Chains A and B, each alone.
Chain A
Amino acid sequence: MDSELIPEGVQRCSLGKFLLWIGVVSVVLLWGVYGMILCWAKGLNQTNMNNAFGFALWIWADLAVIALGGGAFFTGFLRYIVGKKELKNIINYAVLIGFICYSSALLILAIDIGQPLRGWFIFWHANVHSMLTEVAFCLSCYFGVLTIEYLPLILENRQIDKIPFFHNLSHNMHEVMAVFAATGAFLSFFHQGSLGGVAGVLYGRPFGFREGVLIWPWTFFLFTWSAAACGPCFTILITKITEKVVGKKLVKDNVVELLAKISGWMLLTYITAKIIDTLYWAYVTAPKMGFTLDQFYTNNPGSAYGYWILIMEVIVGGVIPALILVTRKGRQTPLLLWIAVILACVGVSLNRWVMVLQVLAVPVLTFENWFTYFPSWQEIATTILPVAYGTILISLSYRYLPIFPQESELNPPPEELLSEAETVQKEAIEQDMASQDLTPAESAG
């Protein structure tokens, strides 16, 4: 029924099956939308945030999806600026994932602020000294860039492409895509960094505060670096999940391996810098503020913020995936590659978690205790909402847009889709030929 919309040379499931899938995911989406409407209508009393946890699950989700969506800018940087041509086969998907991540981040921010109708104040009354201002500007601009990068893909839909103007627009946008990609990389460097600066500049919060260079704390650079390292891992992970779901290979191994290798080296250098930063913070910065590492990681309720979280982040989510990805054997072994990209994504998400939640949980006044928080269902629903939205957008894009340039090559269509009658007839002819010991050409003649 929708076959005219599906890209040429590729196979897709039936429309009924597709709509059933979209329907199931939409139930989750609607649950999230309901939570979102409750928050907008009744206010943030619908959450379990409190005066100690002004930042909570949503801000973590924002930081995490932006880090994971970093695959778009870094892959774009590698493809268009560095000139890694192989990556043209995965850049479309990286852009789509980035678009989903950034639109989700903006949506979550719109729910998270107490007065959503005043959201524009952050632009209008901008305080240029605030890291959040820089985040808001760069994030919005970069979302514009991602939209520009995603637009040509939409225009390449079989039916839209027939319209000359859209065909030309798509072509012309591709021609200057390097300029947009470079702008995107510039904006990403700053907003990824500023997100790191959000906690890093809090000199009243010893867990988050870091020294740095000029106005930028070390977390500024670490966040950009980790997003560049782990974003591509997320792109690989989602690509692999998509391949599993649709039961087809969509991107050639050499493309994934190249991205995995670059990501691995980025991750290794990042985690080295992170370890140095942690040691300097633990032995120099924090003691100057009257704190020891033990104070940050012990005696908290249920050991929710024990040393395990540091080990999980740095060793399990950093060192191990980095070592897997920098070795050829590690990258080429499917199971190890899966493990590495999952761990890298977990590691960077944990980093964002502690830099939001643990910063606020640690007591600073000596007569206060650890603060605890567990999100309400409305917070959870609205955080899962982007996952459902992302799944739907990926499903729609995969079905109707030429996202994977190598798909048709990797999955050649069966020789001919023959009807049963034709098959029976063909078999009969072959049997006849065999009995007469003739070749098909002779038989036809």
Chain B
Amino acid sequence: MKEGQHDQHIKKYGMVIDLDKCTGCGACMVACMQENNIPFQKDETDKMLSITWLRVFKLDNGKPYPDTDICYLPRPCMHCSGIGEHGHSPCVSVCPATATDYSMETGIVSQIYTRCFGCRYCMAACPYHVRHFNWWDPVWPSGMERSLNPNVSVRMRGVVEKCNFCFQRYQIAKEKAFTEGRTEIEEHEYQPACVEACPANAITFGDLLNPKHKVYKLKQDPRAFRLLEKLHTNPKVYYLSSREWVREAGDNYIENEKVDVEPKKH
């Protein structure tokens, strides 16, 4: 939907990830790969060539034992709104073939695989490294193709792909609502695979604009922060942490700069 076509049904889907709860188990990554038919190679040793829509990072506070502390940080696509909430995401604005789009209806940054011709400008633009290139054609071990999700197309060699907040689930939920005579979907009807798979309930998903959704309140938590806020990418993924060093790890600060990572009061 083009800018300027806002209506009362406008949504801004986003995520709040509680890092105090995340155990780094990786269930979200596995669920994501399974749900979205993410291909893999025989040799996955070079992680720079792997496709991981959702990647769990292991952060540490850089201090020696016994003060050492670690934190696991799951990183999906941030679905940046960009400067001025105009959908001017770092990646969308640069794509020369309009193969990635910012939906003003949902706030989701999509990727049109059949439109992408693989210039990789969007990958260069994304500071979060959420975009991955298909360096190879996907090959599924014999029999494994039966486990593919029929609601998600597999991608061909030479195109870019990334997390889309399991958009196919949004479409299914919308279709279900439509058949039941509803125009709106409930919060629980559209939840990405990673959210459902998290055993610690660390990931919460919903409409950031809807006061009835849990994320609406959670994003205002004093522990909330977003990654690289200073770049004005305006991400829709929020993180919660009670640890100051974790909040500080969310952005770059120059020496002597007043670090604004104190828990916010709302």
Interface size class of B (residues with CB under 8 A): 35 or more
Distance between A316 CB and nearest chain B CB, rounded to angstroms: 27
Contact of B131 with A by CB under 8 A: yes
Complex CA–CA separation, A374 to B46 (angstroms) = 14
| A358-376, CB < 8 A from B | 359-360, 364-368, 371
Among the stretches A111-119, A163-171, A406-414, the one at the interface with B is A111-119
Contact residues in A for B121 (Cβ distance below 8 Å): 54-55, 130, 132, 198
Q: Are A365 and B118 neighbours in the complex by a CB distance under 8 Å?
A: no
The answer to whether A43 and B127 have CB atoms under 8 Å apart is no
Query: Which residues of chain A are within 8 angstroms of B252 by Cβ–Cβ distance?
Result: 206, 289-291, 295, 364, 366
With A43-B135, A122-B117, A132-B119 as contacts: A289 and B231 at CB distance below 8 Å: yes
CA distance A291 to B255 in the complex (A): 9
**How many residue pairs bridge A and B at CB < 8 Å?**
161
Segment among B94-102, B174-182, B201-209 that sits at the interface with chain A: B94-102
| Known A-B contacts A115-B116, A130-B93, A204-B125; A125 and B250 likewise in contact (beta carbons under 8 Å) | no
CB of B124 within 8 A of CB of A360, answer yes
**Contacts of B98 on A, CB cut-off 8 Å?**
125-127
Contact of A203 with B by CB under 8 A: yes
Contact, CB under 8 Å: A45 / B135: yes
Check A365 against B129 for contact (C-beta < 8 Å).
yes
Interface residues of A, count at CB 8 A: 50
Q: A122-B117, A204-B90, A289-B230 are in contact. Are A51 and B129 (CB under 8 A)?
A: yes
B73 touches A367 (CB 8 A): yes
> Which of B73, B119, B228 has the most chain A CB atoms inside 10 A of its CB?
B119
Q: Check if B48 sits within 8 Å of A367, measured CB to CB.
A: no
- B166 adjacent to chain A (CB < 8 Å): no
Report chain A residues within 8 Å CB of B49: 45, 50-51
Residues of B within 8 A of A127 (CB): 95-98
Contact in complex: A203, B117 (CB < 8 Å): no
CB within 8 Å of A: which B160-198 residues: 160
Point out the residues of chain B lying under 8 angstroms from A288, CB to CB.
230
Contact in complex: B97, A201 (CB < 8 Å)? no
Q: Which residue of B lies closest to A120 (CB)?
A: B117
Interface string of A115-153 (1 = CB under 8 A from B): 110110110111101111100100000000000000000
- Asked if A433 lies at the interface with its beta carbon under 8 angstroms from chain B, I say no
Flag whether A10 is at the interface (Cβ < 8 A). no
**Contact: B93 with A129, CB < 8 Å?**
yes
A203 contacts which of B118, B231, B254 (Cβ < 8 Å)? B231
Q: Are B94 and A131 in contact (CB under 8 A)?
A: yes
12 contacts between A and B (CB under 8 A): A55-B120, A125-B99, A127-B96, A127-B97, A131-B94, A201-B93, A204-B128, A292-B254, A365-B228, A367-B73, A367-B249, A368-B129
Residues of B near any A CB (own CB < 8 A): 46, 48-50, 57, 59, 73, 83, 90, 93-99, 115-121, 123-129, 131-137, 156-160, 227-228, 230-233, 249-255, 257
Q: A51-B132, A204-B228 are in contact. List 18 more A-B contacts (CB 8 A).
A: A43-B158, A50-B135, A54-B121, A55-B124, A114-B116, A114-B119, A115-B116, A115-B156, A124-B97, A132-B94, A205-B127, A289-B252, A290-B252, A292-B255, A364-B252, A366-B249, A367-B73, A368-B129
Which 5 A/B pairs are nearest by Cβ-Cβ distance? A114-B118, A114-B158, A290-B252, A54-B120, A54-B123
